[in-house]
Amino acid sequence: MIETLRIDDLTVLYARPGLARHHPVLLVHGYFATASVFRDWLGFFAERGFPAYALNLRGREGSRPGIDVGKASMADFVDDVAAVAVHLDNPVLVGHSMGGLLVQCAAERGLAHAAALITPAPPRGISVLSLALVARQVKYLPAILRARPVRPSARDLTALVLNRVPPAERAAVLRELVPDSGRAGRDMSITGVAVDPRRVRCPVFVVGADDDRFIPPVVVRRVASRYGAPIQTMIGRGHMLVLEPGWKAVADVVARWCTSV
């Protein structure tokens, strides 16, 4: 059963294991997403003895209500991850997409027992921009530059992040996605978010997807190289591999690594 907790004015989904045998796991969602993308993962990890938590970053699902989500910075989001990580006392951090970059930042602060990065947004110095991505992002530049909420079209989301989600399931996924921060988008795509790899002292594991059109495999490999981390590329998967058909294989790869560290 999934419970909803409140930690430091943030909503956190939680699955209690029958017998806790491992460090807690904190799952951190990506841009336009909420903790719901990890709902199935919570039970999966709890069944394997992990106290399993999934955080809703501020501006969604009741986390820090009343804020202007368009103005939330990446530093604000890192503070959200840090608040829950401190409460959980040295959890394994697992982040998808933007969440993967937030996990890198939290690990730099020494807040992670270990860090698993799933198709992670890259830190400053590793560009994620491509001609195809820039062409689709131009229309969102006013919101990004003015720190307003970014509201992507269903067509762009389908092309970039849902290409491996079956057509019959896309409408349900799209209903779960939310507007996100223009300020955070600017931090990631224009100014960059600095992470000093020398200060990331915990074990790091990276998972990529061979058909990811948002964070391409070459970018994911560069992130893994920055930390000297092992990498596993999932075949036949796109950017939303955490909820695409076959998500259990992805969760199993991550859980097995989490068990080993």
> With 70 as the cut, is the pLDDT of residue 245 above it?
yes
Print the SS3 string covering the chain: CEEEEEECCEEEEEECCCCCCCCCEEEECCCCCCHHHHHHHHHHHHHCCCCEEEECCCCCCCCCCCCCHHHCCHHHHHHHHHHHHHHHCCCEEEEECHHHHHHHHHHHCCCCCEEEEECCCCCCCCCCCCHHHHHHHHHHHHHHHCCCEECCCHHHHHHHCCCCCCHHHHHHHHHHCCCEEHHHHHHHHHHCCCCCHHHCCCCEEEEEECCCCCCCHHHHHHHHHHHCCCEEEECCCCCCCCCCCCHHHHHHHHHHHHHHC
| Stretch 234-244: mean pLDDT | 97
pLDDT band per the 50, 70, 90 thresholds, residue 172 = very high
In CATH, what number is assigned to the domain containing residue 147? 3.40.50.1820
**Residue range(s) defining the domain that contains residue 65:** 2-260
The 10s digit of each residue's pLDDT in 38-74 is 999 999 999 999 999 999 999 999 999 999 999 999 9
Phi, psi of 25 (to 5 degrees): -115, 130
CA atoms of 58 and 61, how far apart (whole Å): 8
The 10s digit of each residue's pLDDT in 185-234 is 999 999 999 999 999 999 999 999 999 999 999 999 999 999 999 999 99
The 10s digit of each residue's pLDDT in 14-40 is 999 998 899 999 999 999 999 999 999
Q: Are 7 and 84 in contact (CB under 8 A)?
A: yes
CA atoms of 55 and 11, how far apart (whole Å): 6
CA separation, residue 178 to residues 10, 83, 153, 155 (Å): 17, 22, 11, 15
How much is the pLDDT for 134?
Answer: 66
| CA-wise closest residue to 163 among 241, 60, 61, 261 | 241
Q: Rounded to two decimals, what is the model's pTM?
A: 0.96
CA atoms of 100 and 55, how far apart (whole Å): 13
How much is the pLDDT for 132?
Answer: 65
Q: Which two tokens stand for residue 42?
A: 């919570």
- Tokens 């992470």 locate to 195
Q: Are 117 and 204 in contact (CB under 8 A)?
A: yes
How much is the pLDDT for 131?
Answer: 59
CA atoms of 243 and 181, how far apart (whole Å): 22
Q: Are 178 and 32 in contact (CB under 8 A)?
A: yes
The 10s digit of each residue's pLDDT in 124-139 is 999 886 656 766 778 8
Could you give the number of structural domains in the chain?
1
Per the DSSP assignment, residues forming a β-bridge with 13 are 4, 54
How much is the pLDDT for 127?
Answer: 85
The 10s digit of each residue's pLDDT in 110-120 is 999 999 999 99
